[in-house]
Amino acid sequence: MGDNPMTSTPTRFTGQPTRMILLLLAGWLIVAHAYADQGPLNQVRSTVEAVLDNLKNKDLPKATLTDRIRSLIKERFDYHAMAQRALAVHWKKATPKIRDRFTELFSKTLESTYLGRIEAYTDERVEYVKERIKGNKSIVDTKIVTANTDIPVTYRLHRSGDKWLVYDVKIEDVSLIRNYRSTYGEIVNNEGFDGLLAKMEAKLESQANESGSN
Amino acid sequence: MPCYADAGAGAEMEKAATNSTGDFEDFDDDFDDEENVVEAYDPLEIFNRGMFWVNDKLYFYLLKPAARVFRIIPQPVRVSIANFFNNIETPIRLVNAAAQLKWSDAGHELERFAINTTVGIGGLFDPAKSRLRISPKIEDSGQTMGHYGVGAGPYLVIPIIGPSTLRDGIGRVADYYLHPVTYIVDDFSDIVIIEAIDVTNTLSLDKDTYEAIKKDALDPYLFIRDAYLQRRRAQVAR
């Protein structure tokens, strides 16, 4: 701290506290920039690898494993967008109450099916092939490498702030949402929304019973 | 062949930020048009559902038990058997790739056959894929017809084989005449036995795919129909 007011200005801005603030500011800018640069491929990778890490951990009790995986996919999948697209034309005709109930059941369906499928996981690994970005949408190509064969899995994502969220998954060229859409569409045509919702509830129950008995 | 023109009006491309290679047609999002629900053409649905039911019984009472017994054979051997059959079926892929003027694919199939039959010991192994990274290109007569604009026609469920379409069913008959076994083996019943071994072997390597579909799908018939048609459309386009 200088006594002379004429020479005190330079030292004020090079003192220890100022340096700390500048460093923190620079650090924050780097982190924020890096996160913003985390493209869709890297975001998909971090979710998938986290799921695989949990699956590889043999010591985890099943309930913990299930909870962790559930929250991991909830972070990455846009359930609402998927539900809307799965119902397609019928979404417009549905009342808000039906929409909410459908979204709730559909989210549970996605989780339950996903958890059921990955129970078959042994030692497969995933390759992250490439990403394509166009505006607020992107496509990430991955590959599940198994002993006999490779299974191409493609994610379609849209941007929500800094996060990329999945709104469709294609496995071996078959779009999940499109597949659900064709099934749900036909059921709504033949049995109405009530019929669809009832069937979804029944299926969730049977899935729960089957995994509960394992 | 898919055209690379951008179908959307005024869609912007972020040239600087992307590692895109220019094939943006995948972005033509059919979800944008929520009215566009492509209904499957299935005028024979009642008949198909009946056949689907028959196949379901065949699967659980005949095919799956046979596959389970087959699992006595160690898996690497069964993988080799699968490789052997795939190798023999090269003419089907080769001829159809050439018919579609896909010369590099046809060339690859020739390379694969040469390498796998020699280094791969009569097709039991697939060094072309594992060492040289030359993957098979699945082509068949149904795809060739589709390539030249023949529509798929009505959805058909065939005994044992399962999902198909009129065009693809006819394609299978054509492929029968491209299959070397047809010419090597004299007795038709022997041909059937060889096919049965192929099917049973393939099923023995499968990890309960059909069971999984039955467990998760609200309507397995609809699920399989849609999955087959989607996959077929993509195969024809490639």
CA atoms within 13 A on the CB side of A162: 9
Domain boundary assignment for chain B: 9-19+26-237
Q: pLDDT tens for residues B100-147?
A: 999 999 999 999 999 999 999 999 999 999 899 899 999 999 999 999
CA–CA min distance B131, chain A (Å): 14
Interface check A125 vs B, CB under 8 A? no
Model confidence band, residue A122 (pLDDT cutoffs 50, 70, 90): confident
CA dist B185 and B194 (Å) reads 10
At residue A31 the predicted structure's pLDDT band, cuts being 50, 70 and 90, is low
A212 touches chain B (CB under 8 A): no
Token pair listed for A172: 């071996």
- B185-204 tens-digit pLDDT: 989 999 999 999 999 999 99
pTM, entire model: 0.82
The pLDDT of residue B20 is 41
**pLDDT grade for A24, boundaries at 50, 70 and 90:** confident
Q: How far apart are CA B67 and CA B65, in angstroms?
A: 5
Give the pLDDT confidence score for residue A37 in this predicted structure: 59
- Does the pLDDT value for residue A88 go beyond 90? no
Please tell me if residue B35 touches chain A, with a CB cutoff of 8 Å.
Answer: yes
Please answer yes or no on whether A113 and B216 come within 8 Å at the CB atom. yes
Do residues B134 and B89 touch, judged by C-beta distance below 8 A? no
| Tokens representing residue B203 in the block | 């099923």
Mean pLDDT calculated for residue range B165-190: 94
Residue with the bigger pLDDT between A150 and B146: it is: B146
Among B224, B226, B233, the strongest candidate for a mutation testing the A interface, having the largest count of A CBs within 10 A, is B226
CA dihedral A92, A97, A101, A104 (to 10 degrees): 80
**Residue B212 clears pLDDT 80, i.e. is over it:** yes
pLDDT at residue B25 is higher than 70: no
Cα separation, B98 vs B109, whole angstroms = 10
Cβ neighbours, 10 Å, residue B12: 9
pLDDT above 50 (res B8): no
- Decide if pLDDT at A6 tops 90: no
Q: Do the beta carbons of residue B83 and residue B123 sit within 8 Å? A: yes
What token pair was written down for B137? 């290109």
The pLDDT assigned to B3 comes to 36
Closest CA to B129 of B138, B120, B121: B120
Q: How much is the pLDDT for A118?
A: 84
**At residue B187, what are phi and psi to the nearest 5 degrees?**
-80, 125
Q: For A90-113, what is each residue's pLDDT tens digit?
A: 999 999 999 999 999 999 999 999
Q: Is the pLDDT at A55 greater than 80, yes or no?
A: yes
ipTM: 0.79
Q: Which residue of B has its CA nearest to A88?
A: B34
